[in-house]
Amino acid sequence: MNNDVSAERDWLEHPKTIEIQRYLKDNLQPRRFVHVLSVRDTAVDLARRYSADLQKLNFAALLHDCAKWMSAEELFKSAAHFGLHLDVIERANPSILHARIGAELAAKRFGIDHPEILSAIRLHTTGSGVMPLIDRILYVADFAEPQRTYKEADIVHKLAYQDLNRAVLEVSRYKIEQLLTKGKAIHPNTIDAYNAALRKTCGAG
Ligand SMILES: [Fe+2]
Ligand SMILES: [Fe+2]
């Protein structure tokens, strides 16, 4: 067995990986748990493609929806518990809070202290104007993992292996279109993600 495969097996079987997976299985809906494992597999595969840190992507992907089981009331309660200041869009759409609360749980419950992992979890729903490689991979993997049923997932999944920045652009564009269609507020981070990806891919904006 070569060292890479051996190292990969080590962190897949790492006690923290096992502990997190047990928590997710106990707390998430079965469908959500399957989604999370699929995001992890997609994110780790993209990490290989782009020479990103596999272990960081493993933990970021496994934990990205760890607060997804919470109701709006529980999300608000957790935000108060962790001392988070909420903006007006988060107050109106508490479901997006699962990303920030997830990062808090990752740090405080699971002892994940690496800022890159926590940032990727925190920004996986909205994206942002500054997205390092790990953030971009998780953002795209969450949208395009093979269990997703919308047709854009397949398109973005293929695109992700050719041009990650274009994949980020497509994800943010699709999310903005969906929010506009539903008449929902758009978080400024989502606009920033779109503008930054547009600049990177077309030199525009
Ligand atoms: Fe999520
Ligand atoms: Fe997700």
Looking at 3.20.20.150, 1.10.3210.10, 3.40.50.1380, 3.90.1530.10, the CATH number of the domain 3-202 comes to 1.10.3210.10
Instruction: Please name which of 58, 143, 65, 129 lies closest in space to residue 99, comparing C-alpha atoms.
Output: 65
Residues across the chain? 205
What's residue 13's pLDDT?
A: 78
pLDDT confidence band for 205 (50 / 70 / 90): low
What's residue 24's pLDDT?
A: 98
Distance 35 CA to ligand 2 centre (A): 7
Distance 120 CA to ligand 2 centre (A): 12
pLDDT tens-digit readout, 40-76:
999 999 999 999 999 999 999 999 999 999 999 999 9
The share of the chain scoring above pLDDT 70, in percent, equals 94
Ligand (nearest to CA of 67): 1
pLDDT confidence band for 2 (50 / 70 / 90): low
Distance 26 CA to ligand 1 centre (A): 17
Instruction: Please name which of 57, 38, 36, 60 lies closest in space to residue 48, comparing C-alpha atoms.
Output: 57
| Mean pLDDT, residues 184-199 | 96
What's residue 1's pLDDT?
A: 43
Long-range contacts of 82-86 (CB under 8 A, 24+ apart): 82/108
Residues that place a CB less than 5 A from ion ligand 2 = 65, 142
What's residue 150's pLDDT?
A: 93
Predicted TM-score (pTM) of the model is: 0.94
- The domain segmentation of the chain, as residue ranges, is 3-202
Distance 37 CA to ligand 2 centre (A): 10
Statement: residue 36 has pLDDT above 80: yes
Distance 2 CA to ligand 1 centre (A): 34
Distance 67 CA to ligand 1 centre (A): 8
Burial 138-174 (b: 16+ CB within 10 A, else e): bbbbbbbbeebeeebbeebbebbeeebbbbbbbbbbb
pLDDT tens-digit readout, 145-163:
999 999 999 999 999 999 9
